[in-house]
Amino acid sequence: MGKLLYFGPAILWFFAGLPIQAYAQTATNSLHLNPAWLTLVHYQPDVFGSGFTSQADDPTFFLSEHGKTSPKAELNATLEAIQQPGEGNQHARCRFPARDAWLREQLNLPKKQIRCPDYEAWTGTLNTQSITLVFAASYLNSPSSMFGHTFLRLDPPQQDEKTSLLLANTISYAANAPDQDNELLFIYQGVFGGYPGTTTVQPYYEKIRLYSDIEHRDLWEYKLNLTKQEVDSMLAHAWEIQGRNFDYFFFDENCAYRLLALIDAARPGTELLEQVTTHAIPSDTVRWAVDKDLIASVHYRPSAATSVAYSLSNLPGGHQKLAAALANGDIAPNNEKVQSLNPKKKAKLLDATYDYVRYRSEADDWPTNIAAPLSHALLLERSKIDGVAPPILPPEPPVRDDQGHDTLRVSLSAGQLAHREFTQLTFRPAYHDVLDPPAGYRSGAQLQFFRLDARLYHDNDELQLEQLTGLEIRSLSPRNAFFSPLSWQVGFGGRRTDTGSKRVLTPYLEGGAGGSWSLGQGTQAFAIATADLEIDDDLRRGYDAAPGADIGLLHQSDYFSFSGGVKTKAWIVSGQHRQDQLYAKANWHIGREFSLFAEFTREDHYDRYQSTWQAGLHTYF
């Protein structure tokens, strides 16, 4: 005991004399593997081996030359840098405030204040008290927004809602694509990581104008229940990654994925990124945030198109014709047919027509010399009516986008092709087809990718790949007197095709465009002009092409969905033959987790009639 007492002061003196760096490094033997540190530097486990690689693709994001692949080297370099004397925008503490705060808390380092003018000005301008996760509904006419889009709104201290929204900013992550790239190139580059992705800050009113006023997209606002300290941590990490490149991948490392990382950084242990497997669909990521009890409240913000369509749909049929005539300039607001209406009906007519004209001038660039005088005349006539309230906003949909069916689907069915019986297994990672449960999805919209259909034929136990769908998009938007959207479809992959003597798997590309018209009660008729291209050595010239048509009906409801019609194609290169098909497909929905389905086709091809049917079960995960 005496020896221990004798050496005790010497030991204390020795450790007191150690530099802080040496002491801290002794304490960081395993700190580099802490999930919070891995999240802050965006490390992911390597597919092969036991190492890590950061998803950041910008050298300025690292303080160690080995930081891309070494969490320990990056932690040690950061620890050394944040303890260097000095201050100013280029100091490590100013460049990486989230890392600095976390390391000081973990190692109990002195929390000496430092001046960071740019960071202080940035956070001061944002003036953030709380954060809202915003989901913009899917929009098939934009490749980058087919699955929807998520971003974060930085909410200042509440005054009134309108003032707060004008002052609010947003954080979003998106592909930094050149303006001249067309949509096909964007899809290709986005799928294979050809674009850098960057985190940017924009005013919220600009997002509302883009998504709600122009792109017809409803917004769902999910206020996060983050504490003030967690809000500050998120902003600190957003500062660290703002303007720095992360390769953008359309299906996984996309807008939703990067925001999950920000939330994980704000609240360590949330582990939202752990939910991501093969893909990160924005609506799925919102669902995960809800499941993790991160949401304090939800607010629905209908788009301009939704509000206008709602106002017009509430007009009686005859008044809708009057509104169309007013908007098209066929009659003036002081026309006798308008003046004969009682004040309440007249006000509803003028309000709906004015909103429609304003929307078209904003979204479709109606000429100012047409829209402005017409809007003025409508407002002038409306000002003569007192005591009638303006139109109300559309009601919140009963099912939110994050409450729809899960996007991964596995299907098992039994069927028969001609006289050959088979069992079929289908795997579809994402997202939705028109016969899936429609609640929470756009009516008439279909988007599927990497769908695989495999069949086992019972007569010879032969396992065949029936179809591999790389991408399949269909948008059936009904036309009416006010809106004339184009219905269209496109798809590519590999499928079994009949050459006259055998069925072979051939690459294909197909597309089409046309129109659809609502018949009421969730039913619409459609007519699509189509074009198909197949490429295979078994075809006489190595490829074949066919113009054609698809005419049919689509019905969607919460309990039952149906599609049926006729298709015809005229193959004109290798075979000069017709292919005609009668088809019917039906799904019976059992909640949002299961659907029973049945399909039947009757085909006339190579002067040979052939029937195919199958029935089975869809399961959604």
Q: What is the pLDDT of residues 239-251, one digit of tens each?
A: 999 989 888 877 6
Tell me: do 236 and 346 sit in the same domain: no
Report how far Cα 76 is from the mean position of its chain's Cα atoms: 38
Tell me: do 152 and 182 sit in the same domain: yes
CB-based contact 448:472 (threshold 8 Å) = yes
pLDDT number for residue 520: 93
Tell me: do 153 and 87 sit in the same domain: no
pLDDT number for residue 23: 43
Give the span between the Cα atoms of 214 and 596, in whole angstroms: 38
CA 190, 475, 300, 122: dihedral to nearest 10 degrees?
20
Tell me: do 182 and 279 sit in the same domain: yes
For 389, residues 6+ apart whose C-beta sits below 8 A from its C-beta are none
Q: Angle, nearest 10°, between helix axes 255-266 and 228-241?
A: 130
Q: Is 210 helix (H, G, I), strand (E, B) or coil?
A: helix
Q: What HEC string does 195-208 produce?
A: EEEEEEEEEHHHHH
Tell me: do 168 and 296 sit in the same domain: yes
Q: What are phi and psi of 48, to 5 degrees?
A: -115, 130
Mark out the alpha helices in 295-384 (DSSP H runs).
304-313, 317-327, 336-339, 343-363, 368-382
Rg (CA), the chain: 30
| Beta strand 149-155 pairing with 169-175 | antiparallel
Q: Predicted confidence band at 21 (pLDDT cuts at 50, 70, 90)?
A: very low
Across 152-160, average pLDDT = 86
Alpha-carbon distances of 463 from 317, 452, 454, 469, rounded to whole Å: 56, 13, 7, 18
- Predicted confidence (pLDDT) at residue 584 exceeds the cutoff of 70: yes
Neighbouring C-beta atoms of residue 146, cutoff 10 Å: 20
**Domain final residue, candidates 301, 325, 348:** 301
Q: What HEC string does 217-268 produce?
A: CCEEEEEECCCHHHHHHHHHHHHHHECCCEEECCCCCCHHHHHHHHHHHHCC
Q: Does residue 321 lie in a domain region?
A: yes
- Predicted confidence (pLDDT) at residue 25 exceeds the cutoff of 90: no
Look at 22-26, 455-459, 608-612 and tell me which has the smallest mean pLDDT: 22-26
| Beta strand 478-479 pairing with 462-475 | unpaired
pTM: 0.87
Q: Does residue 595 lie in a domain region?
A: yes
Tell me: do 296 and 315 sit in the same domain: no
Tell me: do 347 and 410 sit in the same domain: no
Tell me: do 262 and 286 sit in the same domain: yes
- Predicted confidence (pLDDT) at residue 136 exceeds the cutoff of 80: yes
Alpha-carbon distances of 360 from 313, 317, 327, 382, 615, rounded to whole Å: 17, 21, 10, 19, 45
Q: Does residue 183 lie in a domain region?
A: yes
CB-based contact 612:603 (threshold 8 Å) = yes
Give the span between the Cα atoms of 420 and 466, in whole angstroms: 14
> What sign does the dihedral 182-187-192-194 (CA atoms) show?
positive
Q: Does residue 609 lie in a domain region?
A: yes
Tell me: do 320 and 280 sit in the same domain: no
**Domain final residue, candidates 275, 301, 327:** 301
For 210, residues 6+ apart whose C-beta sits below 8 A from its C-beta are none
**Domain final residue, candidates 324, 351, 382:** 382
If you count DSSP H runs as helices and E runs as strands, how many of each does the chain have, helices first?
18, 23
Tell me: do 292 and 309 sit in the same domain: no
pLDDT 10s digits, 213-244: 667 789 999 999 999 999 999 999 999 999 89
Give the span between the Cα atoms of 363 and 328, in whole angstroms: 16
Q: Does residue 422 lie in a domain region?
A: yes
Give the span between the Cα atoms of 472 and 448, in whole angstroms: 5
% of the chain surpassing 70 pLDDT = 92
Alpha-carbon distances of 275 from 38, 115, 278, 429, rounded to whole Å: 16, 38, 10, 14
pLDDT number for residue 165: 76
pLDDT number for residue 577: 87
Tell me: do 283 and 422 sit in the same domain: no
pLDDT 10s digits, 424-442: 999 999 899 999 999 999 9
Give the span between the Cα atoms of 621 and 608, in whole angstroms: 40
Give the span between the Cα atoms of 36 and 242, in whole angstroms: 19
Number of domains, the chain: 4
Neighbouring C-beta atoms of residue 617, cutoff 10 Å: 13
User: What residues are paired with 505 via a beta bridge?
Assistant: 496
pLDDT 10s digits, 55-104: 999 999 999 999 999 999 999 999 999 999 998 999 999 999 999 999 99
Tell me: do 281 and 311 sit in the same domain: no
Alpha-carbon distances of 429 from 252, 255, 414, 471, 618, rounded to whole Å: 12, 18, 21, 11, 13
Q: Does residue 577 lie in a domain region?
A: yes
Q: Does residue 415 lie in a domain region?
A: yes
Q: Does residue 297 lie in a domain region?
A: yes
Across 504-511, average pLDDT = 95
* Structural domain range at position 197: 124-301
